[in-house]
Amino acid sequence: MRLLPIAAVALLCCGAAVASAPPVSPSGQPVDSKITSLSTPPQVDGKLAASFTGKAVAHRVEYVSGIAVDCVYVNLNDPRARVDVEMAANGVGASESWSSLVRRANPVAAINGTFFDKKTLHPTGDIVRKGKSVHYGGHGSGLCITSDNKACVASAEWGKHVDWTSFETVLSGGFMLLQGGKIVVDPKKERFRDSHVFGRARRSAIGVTNLNRLVLITTRKAVTPHELAVVMKGLQCLDAIGIDGGSSAGMYYRGQNICKPGRALTNILVVYEDRVIGRPAPTQATAPTGASPATP
């Protein structure tokens, strides 16, 4: 794979598969399976756990360090899984209600997208849909997914144009939470200036595990960026980014608005379970040529 002749970007990709401990509630007891659809870890002895059978996408309520979060898990090794970005109907510079975006996209699951300028309505980061760049923002860290569903988290140098041609889907403009399993959250370092980014708010995040699973979350209470990073680490993510939150926080799963934003949005991340392109599932996500894999 070819990457970035224009600007240096650190790509942080999944490594070897390892089992993770099952989630527990603040009391130390296992999470009530009655309110969940999918269990972590997704593999037992190298095979999909029974709760994954028949599903590429599932929802579960998790508790990490006393923080309740709604999680949508996406098994990117399932050839049916597909992840895309849905833009406002009138394109860049426009916004659209959550209900309208979800209805028009008709996904299995969705989460709010990247930060955007409230005056211009331009997203802060780069966006790629179906292999084509639809917006240049030049700011922040992002989720990158190849055409064969290998997921990475990328951190691009501020203001630089990045060659995203290796990827089918890119949603950039967030701030880094985890790299190689380590907490590295520092929005100021990534040139975020809005005070709302640094304080407490209901937040959303995207993570990638070392099993090539995508983890999408919204918190059920206001948290700091560091607390958000702790949550993603507790959910066994290797790399993760924080995306827009507060009044923009939103999550949808199989007909249910789990969290509905209080404002119109410019973009959302959508997940489908109906991909019919004939391709084998990836066996392992690896760093593209010239990029550095994440190391714990």
Q: Whole-angstrom Cα distance, residue 25 to residue 23?
A: 7
Cβ atoms within 10 A of the Cβ of 295, count? Answer: 11
Q: Which residue has the higher pLDDT, 232 or 187?
A: 232
Average pLDDT in the 121-127 region?
A: 91
Residue 79 has pLDDT above 70, yes or no: yes
* CA pair distance 269, 10, nearest whole angstrom: 22
pLDDT value of position 262: 93
Taking the C-alpha atoms of residue 40 and residue 52, their distance in angstroms, rounded to an integer, is 10
More confident position, 128 or 21: 128
pLDDT in tens, 152-204: 998 877 777 888 999 999 999 889 999 999 999 987 786 667 667 667 889 99
The bridge status of strand 182-183 relative to strand 127-129 is unpaired
pLDDT at 132 over 50: yes
- Mean of all residue pLDDT scores within the chain: 78
pLDDT at 294: 39
Report if pTM > 0.85: no
Quick check: 143 pLDDT over 90?
yes
The confidence score (pLDDT) of residue 53 equals: 54
Calculate mean pLDDT across residues 204-215. 96
Alpha helix positions (H), 18-78 = none
Instruction: State residue 198's pLDDT score.
Output: 64
The C-alpha torsion from 91 through 119 and 96 to 108, rounded to 10°, is: 80
The 10s digit of each residue's pLDDT in 9-50 is: 544 444 333 233 333 333 333 332 222 223 344 443 344 433
In the predicted model, what is the mean pLDDT of residues 256-272? 96
Q: Taking residues 258-279, report their average pLDDT.
A: 84
What is residue 80's DSSP assignment? T
Can you tell me the mean pLDDT for 287-291?
A: 36
pLDDT value of position 195: 64
Task: Identify the CA nearest to 7 among candidates 138, 139, 130, 163.
Answer: 163
Pick the closest to residue 245 from 212, 274, 283, 216 (CA basis): 216
pLDDT (0 to 100) of residue 258? 97
Helices (H), 134-213: 195-198
Choose the most confident range, by mean pLDDT, from 109-118, 141-150, 187-196. Answer: 141-150
